[in-house]
Amino acid sequence: MAIKCLYLKLEINMKIRTEITADNNAIETLTYRAFENHPHHAPGATPTEHLIINKLRDAGVLTVSLVAEDDTGIIGHIALSPVSINGVASNWYGLGPVSVIPERQGEGIGRQLIEASLAKIKFKNADGVVLLGEPDYYGRFGFETHANLTLQGVPPEYFLIKSLCNDDYTTTDKTIPVGDVTYHSAFNES
């Protein structure tokens, strides 16, 4: 007897677009909710990721800020901002925070935001992107650890990079600068 498997493909009817000023409160609320009780926060800790986004925006360094929205409103957000390497401005960017409202997590919204943000920052001729995150999740987007770039105080397996210097997005030592990465001060002040 043959068993047939049925696969349900969830189609998300949404669009991804650049944020506008009218989105700020919705982005703040959804980011707070997305990180409330997050497993990487101490139990009972108040999220600060929404404050980071606000400070990046206020400083004028929110290089890419995209929202995902459907007929219910804004359901996701992603940010990219410049990082420095060895204290010098670079053409590398930090990805994050990435936020999806809790009841919609696991639907592929975050994946689509990440893909859209990488395309947008590559279009701006960025050399690469760094992030602090789960290697298993971000590895599917081509992020990997690399000895050339480090983030002080962070286990190296969670600091991931993606070079955008090659058309095929492969990472080579020639395209990766060497040094310590520093995020904008908004990440430290929150």
Look at the domain 15-132+178-189 and name its fold: Aminopeptidase (3.40.630)
pTM over 0.75: yes
CB 127 within 8 A of CB 90: yes
Give residue-wise pLDDT tens across range 81-91.
999 999 999 99
Question: Which uninterrupted H or E stretch holds 31?
Answer: helix 24-35
d(CA 45, CA 21): 28
Q: How many residues does the structure list for the chain?
A: 190
Rg (CA), the chain: 17
d(CA 141, CA 165): 15
Give residue-wise pLDDT tens across range 116-140.
999 999 999 999 999 999 999 999 9
- Residue 158 DSSP symbol: G
Supply the mean pLDDT for the chain.
89
**Which structure tokens are listed for 60?**
């004028």
Angle, in degrees to the nearest 10, between helices 24-35 and 49-58 = 150
Strands (DSSP E) along the chain, which ranges? 15-18, 64-70, 73-85, 88-100, 128-132, 149-150, 159-163, 179-182
Q: Domain residues of the chain, as ranges?
A: 15-132+178-189
